[in-house]
Amino acid sequence: MDDPEIFGGPCLRLLSDPAAASILIHLRQAPAPTRDLLELGTGLGYPTLMSRVRLLAKHRLVDRGTEVHLLTAGRAALSVIDVAAAREGEWPTDRDRFMLPGTRALSVACDSRWRAISRVLAHEPARIRDLEKLLPRLAKGTLERRLRQRREDGLLTAEKGGRDVWHGLSEHGRRLAGLGLHATRWEWVFGQRDKGLLSSDLSGIVHQLAPLVCVSDGIQGVCLFREHWHRTIDRDVYLAVRDCRVLPYVVAPLASPDAVAHGTPHEWAQALVTGDWTNIKCDGESGLIRALVRGLHKEIRA
């Protein structure tokens, strides 16, 4: 399944490797000689340890001198692991005690097949046969396996309706999408991949999170989030606010929006992760944009 490389994907893949994450976590407190990392409880054999240290050094997360120590990119990557661990800790299923906190959430978030499934389910539940039609490049066996795994994780709901089972995103499944924005911030600043080759899926993330958002009473209208990037899955995201709830549009509305907000992938990630929308350019009702950014930020933070 040849999906475009998404901002944050390389970061999530790197950090989802338990060996790499283990080294970063053990270096959080202080630098350590390589031989000491073997004795500090990483549980890694020497060949694996050395290969991951070289990998992290290649990506400039650590420096290999007399001691291995974290660089700025490594400390920033630890914040992504922390968010993943917090999200994973909310899941209703028990964490495997042999897995590092956060690595399961990171591995799910960087799975392109899960991203495609969750994007389709962002608006309403669907049956397996509906998903097969909407995701024709995804093999039936792979689809069924992903649905079963994510149900076990508590990221999907499954309700019987007649002879069919309707799958939908749980709140935990929706909130996991926000992890991609934390990884996007890291990727924009520290990633070595040519940014011109990366795509953005702001719309997919916002569509998954929007149904969870609650805004202040009295805020009404339609807002357009516009992403300035030459490679996006959907450039425009339309959101309607009514009765304190947020409704994402599947297609653009006929009427002009009450507010338009513009930003690059990095500016949007920064605004939604931190809640600070000052770098987002706004036209129209700024109060509507502010309410939406803050509401989405509440669901993304950990």
Encode pLDDT of 122-169 as tens digits: 999 999 999 999 999 999 999 999 999 999 999 999 998 888 899 999
**pLDDT at position 110:** 94
Average pLDDT across the chain, whole number: 92
Helices (H), 59-127: 72-90, 103-109, 112-120
Distances from the Cα of 71 to the Cα of 64, 68, 82, 128, angstroms: 10, 10, 17, 45
Long-range contacts of the stretch 138-146 (C-beta < 8 A, 24+) = 138/1, 138/113, 142/113, 143/113, 143/117, 146/111, 146/113, 146/114, 146/117
**pLDDT at position 1:** 44
Give pLDDT tens digits for 155-212: 999 998 888 899 999 999 999 999 999 999 999 999 988 898 899 999 999 999 999 9
DSSP characters for 197-234? G-BB-HHHHHHHHGGG-B--TT--EEEEEEE--SSBS-
Looking at per-residue confidence, does 95 or 294 come out higher?
294
Q: Which residues lie closer than 8 Å to 40 by C-beta, 6 or more apart?
A: 26, 32
Residues 110-124, mean pLDDT to the nearest whole number:
95
- Domains defined along the chain, listed by start: 9-106 (1.10.10.10), 111-175 (1.10.10.10), 200-300 (3.30.1050.10)
